[in-house]
Amino acid sequence: MDAIRPYLGQRQIYDFNQHWKFTPQDEDRFKDVDVNDAPWATIHLPAPNRVLPHKDFPVETYQFCSWYRKHFTVPESAAGKRIVLMCDGAMVVAEMFVNGQKMGTHVGGYTSFSIDITSAVRLGPGNVVAIRLDSTRRTDVPPEGGIVDYMLFGGMYRNVYLAVYDPVHLQDVFLATREVTDEGAVLRANVDIANQTMDGWAGTVSIRFNRRSGGDAFESSHEVTLSAQAVDTAQWEFFMPGATLWDVDDPQLYDVAASLVAGSGETVDDVVFPFGVRTVSPKANGLLLNGRVVKLRGLNRHQSFPYVGGAAPKRLQRRDAYILKHELGLNYVRTSHYPHDQSFLDACDEFGLLVFTELPGWQHIGDDAWRNQALHDLRSLIIRDRNHPCIFMWGVRINESRDDHDFYAATNQLAKSLDPTRPTGGVRNFRTSEFLEDVFTLNDFSMDLMPTVHTPQLITEYMGHMYPTSSFDAEPRLVEHALHHARIVNSLYGRSDLMGGSGWCAFDYNTHRQFGPGDMVCYHGVMDMFRQPKFAAWFYASQQSTKEQIVLHAASYFTFASVPHDAMLRELIEAAEMEQELVSGKYRWPIYVFSNCDEIEVHVNEQSLGRLLPDRDTFPNLPHPPFVFSVQGYQVCGKVDIMGYKDGQLVAETCLQTPEGGTRLTLRADDMELVADGSDMTQVVVELVDRNGIRAPYGNRAVTFTCDGAGDLIGETPVAMEGGRIGVFVRAGILPGKIRIAASAFGVDSAEIEIETVLDTEPRL
């Protein structure tokens, strides 16, 4: 229905992630209650079925069947209630047993599922849930069947909950904004109510809106009458006066409490979820959001992380959304090519990041059973996520698949029946395609933008495999990678016939051997897989308003290798006095600065180049074109000071300094405090720096990590740096305390940091 969270109202939702037993073995008897699972590993979800190297591993490493078991107590308060096991995602096929009884099977690794286990449990201790998880390559389950340009990984990699609620309960709540005006908003409520008793029931559905930013609450209610053993739907429209709107610049949210109240006045069930009031409609030149045109500027995101695959807890999911919105300055992300974690979408709601989400798939369309599974996945996706204000469009085609009229007519019809308020799109990589959706969504890898095929049209991928670039590539390639992105985004902003676009992609990711350079990594991101920026990331960041943040980054390490001397020397090879030519003013090379300042001032080795304006001649359409200055190409060494100005005032300073050789390591954690729940984790990045604190951009030292205290290390040790840095994860245990992490390497000073873990307060079973 909505993003699930631990909650103890009339409905009780318990976090069910802790103290699972796990084995990579597969025996049918593991479903039985009396199996001795004490020797099995104890894990806390979400977790991968195997921790992996960050690259260079075969896919068979995680493609196997495994078992998960959990012993639990059913609280006495559950007497007479329904008891439901809920899982946000398990890869790929999960068979569930409770106290030895098979309760059901869920197919598909990207969709949530719920199993009513009331008939199999007993009050008190001694209950056992066992799950057989098939993480092999299942060609009968989307997205598999053909070659897939990403890894699915394995494991119970998302959150699990146990819910306890009344036999008369809210089965689904869907709120839709029909219209917004200066006076308020017209909303429509669709509420499915289940009565699992043998008697009829009458009462009221109440929906209360509590504005997070404060102010008076608003409530609307509707009377309902239910037959015995029936599900009915209450539908009504209402006007909310003075509604505060959700927007990319001001993402106002409400906490909505939906309650089911009996005629006696007793609340029998309730759920709480976030909601944003807003309207969306596609237009030729952008997305009409609450009547305002927003040009979409975004990137694609895979939910892939080093070492743990997709098994990233809430903190890492939220961190990705924060990076996309606040560090890269985007207003839109495409969740390629499957439904992403609820925690990520929650954060997009909070940060004001628009989302285009889609059903699982990659190019391949299978047989009728496969198609039916795809329709099931699409239904699950829409029902799960349709209360998220961040989502503006449903993807109803298998990414880059061939046309299939009957199949895609069915996916479009299904999406419209479940949510008539959002447009549909369907991503293809060819122009001569049947247009069944509301928005023509096209992957355009021309390195310039082709003429529009249909209107409205959104470019859903560009760049990517056309110019793969790693963080440890030579500087000229990193610069050209950034400039390719800049040129395409400049074209997007110059096109009034395009809604916008999303580049491929935000972060490097693990993939199969058919893609990438052979080390199982696609280096297509503007950041590496550790979420560390390449130069292209600074370009995207520079396109945001200075009201969000002031950006000033030079795309150079300022070394002799900054210049591709072969090209320049070819021009000078006929010179009579070549050495003289090399040190002359003829041999110059451009340095690009990505900034949203009005002007910059540059000093090269203490010699002023004066104040410079952005290069609007080359990039006339960008909100903030790059700055460019040139240096003597044969003597690129020393120091460059750059000052940024806004409205004539100095607002930012940065410095380029030639690295002098690494002398010490530094450690930086994304978070200095974790929750002691067994799965909370943060990334720790080690860098090799010189005596001035300048990173060694080509450093590849082998680093050894140690970790002790109230947590553990997730990652490789020793591990070679890439581009002078590398990351690992630090995971909290289940007891509060301190975690000490140290990093060492041959010939340089070591580093150490300490992270604190605090008491976990979530209601758990």
As annotated, the active-site residues are: 400, 461
**Between vectors from CA 645 to CA 643 and to CA 649, what angle results, nearest 5°?**
115
Peptide bond into 302 cis (omega under 30): no
Give the amino acid at 345. Answer: L
CA distance 304 to 131: 24
CB 114 within 8 A of CB 51: no
CA 317 – CA 531 distance, rounded (Å): 12
Tell me if 160 sits within 8 A of 341, measured CB to CB. no
Which contacts of 25-34 are long-range, i.e. CB under 8 A and separated by 24 or more positions? 25/66, 25/67, 26/64, 26/65, 26/66, 26/67, 26/132, 27/67, 30/67, 30/69, 30/130, 30/132, 31/97, 31/100, 31/102, 31/130, 31/132, 32/100, 32/130, 33/99, 33/100, 33/128
User: Which one, of 254, 95, 284, lies nearest residue 175 by Cα?
Assistant: 254
Question: How far is it, in rounded angstroms, from Cα 201 to Cα 195?
Answer: 7
d(Cα 120, Cα 127) in Å, to the nearest integer? Answer: 9
3-state secondary structure of 87: strand
Q: Name the token pair of 523.
A: 């280096």
SS3 label, residue 344: helix
Instruction: Characterise 678 by phi-psi region: left (phi > 0), alpha (psi -120 to 50), beta (else).
Output: left
> What is the rounded CA–CA span in Å between residue 490 and residue 469?
20
- Nearest-angstrom CA–CA distance, 441 and 512: 25
DSSP per residue over 118-175, as a string? GGG--SEEEEEEEEEEE-S--TTSTT-SS--SS----B--S-EEEEEE-SEEEEEEEE
**Angstrom distance (rounded) from CA 664 to CA 392:** 47
- Enter the tokens of residue 299: 């990137």
Single-letter amino acid code for the residue at 208: R
Residue 455 structure tokens: 């209107």
